[in-house]
Amino acid sequence: MVAKANVAGLLVLIAGASAMFAGACGGRQKAKQEREHTIKEALKEKEEQSLCGDWKGNPDMEAEEIIGMGSAVPNIRRVYQIYQGLGDGGAQRKILVCREIDTNLDGVKDIVRTYNQNGDPTLEKVDTNYDGKIDVWRSFVNGQLVEEQIDRNGDGKPDEWRIYEDGVLAFVHKDRNGDGKPDEWQFFNNGKLERIGFDDSFEGRVTRWIRNEEELPSVASSQGTDQQADGGTGMDVSAADAAAGDGGPASTGPTDAGGKGQQAAAS
């Protein structure tokens, strides 16, 4: 009888331990599922954020999702403003007002460009290092790049300003000490660096010039100067625009206000 009682007690202990183990495993599994759900929801919310603004639910706006080159899912979004013609038989018009692209295919848009009613680009914002923060701002006039502002130290504010004339780099102003004011001025002639002025005292005036052609390239290189229209920021924006069917940073944008070239972008 004693042996049977011991066996019965042992079985009870084993059953209890098994139940506790199963409960612990179930708890860990539930916690894991909850974490995965939280992560998925966070990613979903991040993916649904649009750089093109609040177009969802607006009856006068329409979005188009496009699969760009090299992507298996839509990574380009075009947002159109819809204009209804006068009268019952008035034809409806769609004008491209914004385009955003996920260039590194991580599910998050990292470049956005806005357009005027003529289909010309007006402003472009880029996250070049994919950290979720805009670090390049480009301004256009009549579809042509006129100014580029770059945040190189990651504080959310521009510390380099690039001025273009007729689409060609003409001036570069840099803030080297982070006070928000230029203290280095680079001058270009037909896109070629001609001279550099430095404000070494940070008092708002040039205290040193470099004009020697032999010194200029090395100085420009050490200061991170890049004469390309993408600002030397590491993102092939022209390729991204080509994938979207739009023009490059210094071009006139899409072929028309309706954004032709969509088939090419989707191919």
With 60 as the cut, is the pLDDT of residue 103 above it? yes
The owner of tokens 């920021």 is 233
147 and 261 assigned to the same domain: yes
Among the ranges given (72-86, 103-117, 211-225, 253-267), the one the predictor scored with the smallest mean pLDDT: 253-267
Q: Which H/E stretch holds residue 79?
A: strand 76-83
94 and 29 assigned to the same domain: no
CA distance 81 to 63: 9
38 and 60 assigned to the same domain: no
The owner of tokens 């919310």 is 45
- Looking at the structure of the chain, the number of domains it has is 2
Of 48, 67, 84, the last residue of a domain is 48
Domain residue limits at 154: 56-167+229-266
Judge contact between 161 and 147, C-beta under 8 A. Answer: yes
pTM for the structure as a whole: 0.67
Q: Give the SS3 label for residue 185.
A: strand
208 part of a folded domain: no
179 part of a folded domain: no
89 and 109 assigned to the same domain: yes
110 and 29 assigned to the same domain: no
How many of the other CB atoms lie within 10 Å of CB of 189? 10
Q: Residue type for 159, please?
A: D
Judge contact between 138 and 147, C-beta under 8 A. Answer: yes
21 and 117 assigned to the same domain: no
With 50 as the cut, is the pLDDT of residue 150 above it? yes
158 and 258 assigned to the same domain: yes
162-198 pLDDT, tens digit each? 999 999 999 999 999 999 999 999 999 998 999 999 9
Query: If we measure between CA atoms, which residue out of 66, 125, 95 comes closest to residue 249?
Result: 125
CA distance 181 to 153: 14
How many of the other CB atoms lie within 10 Å of CB of 7? 10
